[in-house]
Amino acid sequence: MPEIILIAAIAQTNGVIGDRGKLPWSIPEDLKRFRQLTLHHTVIMGRKTWEFDLQKRPLPQRRNIIISSQKCQADGVEFVRSLSQAFDSADPKLFVIGGASIYRQALDFVDRMELTIVEGDYSGDVFFLEWRDRLSEFELIQIEQRDKYRFETYVRSEKTLAWRWAIDGLYS
Ligand SMILES: NC(=O)c1ccc[n+]([C@@H]2O[C@H](COP(=O)([O-])OP(=O)(O)OC[C@H]3O[C@@H](n4cnc5c(N)ncnc54)[C@H](OP(=O)(O)O)[C@@H]3O)[C@@H](O)[C@H]2O)c1
């Protein structure tokens, strides 16, 4: 089974992640970290992130999978119709890179979260707050504080992992 990793930058105060199809901030180190973590792996995103954030340009040196209900085609990317189709992969690591609708649906399956918590007030039109409601399922294993933002790594706790394995066993 691949490791499923949710990677997101989130405003601490209100959970904003996007503003008119773009990130509400410019943090070069965050983009660098995103590239380092995802390079040579598979990235999974929603159609809006592909269209507005990436401007329909695939992330280089990564397998790009886009989820859409529409019949789409583009060079250098793969379109699938559902999250489960995107997760049906032999790749060792699958990075869920947004946006909010995909993050929400992925939360049940995520093994690790690589979050950039952006401090300060930001306005926007897309929010992802649900991760906070699920924190009891995860352990915070690393924090790297920077000026006005921090990197936090969460892994699904042993307890919830064991529970998931048991459920998987029941239905396999
Ligand atoms: N801060 C961050 O780390 C970060 C990261 C990524 C994106 N963002 C921001 O997030 C915003 C976009 O997020 P969003 O929630 O509006 O859009 P999104 O999740 O990027 O894309 C939504 C689209 O994905 C498709 N989709 C979602 N679930 C599906 C399913 N179960 N089956 C089939 N298709 C499905 C649908 O496409 P169709 O309509 O084609 O069916 C849907 O309209 C942007 O502002 C972007 O900048 C922020």
**Counting Cβ atoms within 10 Å, is residue 56 exposed (0-12), middle (13-18) or buried (19+)?**
middle
Task: Name which residue sits closest to atom 31 of ligand 1, judged by CA.
Answer: 82
d(CA 5, CA 113): 6
CATH number of 3-171: 3.40.430.10
**Tens of pLDDT, residues 92-128:** 999 999 999 999 999 999 999 999 999 998 999 999 9
Tokens at 10, concatenated: 């989130």
Residue 169 has pLDDT above 80, yes or no: no
Instruction: For ligand 1, say whether the CB of 49 is within 6 Å of any of its atoms.
Output: yes
3-15 pLDDT, tens digit per residue, is: 999 999 999 999 9
pLDDT digits (tens, 9 = 90+) for 76-87: 999 999 999 999
Residue from 56, 68, 149 to probe ligand 1 pocket by mutation (most atoms less than 8 Å from CB):
68
pTM of the shown model: 0.94
Ligand 1 centre to CA of 159 (Å) is 30
**pLDDT tens, residue by residue, 31-53:** 999 999 999 999 999 999 999 99
Kindly report the average pLDDT of the chain as a whole number.
94
99 CB near ligand 1 (under 6 Å): yes
Residue 163's pLDDT is 65
> Cβ(85) to ligand 1 under 6 A?
no
pLDDT band at 167 (very low <50, low <70, confident <90, very high): low
Does residue 172 surpass a pLDDT of 60? no
Binding site membership of 8 for ligand 1 (Cβ less than 6 Å): yes
Which residue, by CA, sits nearest to atom 8 of ligand 1?
Answer: 99
> Whole-angstrom distance between the N-terminal and C-terminal Cα of the chain?
13
Q: Beta 93-96 vs 3-11: how paired, if at all?
A: parallel
Domain map (residue ranges) of the chain: 3-171
* pLDDT given for residue 159 in this prediction: 67
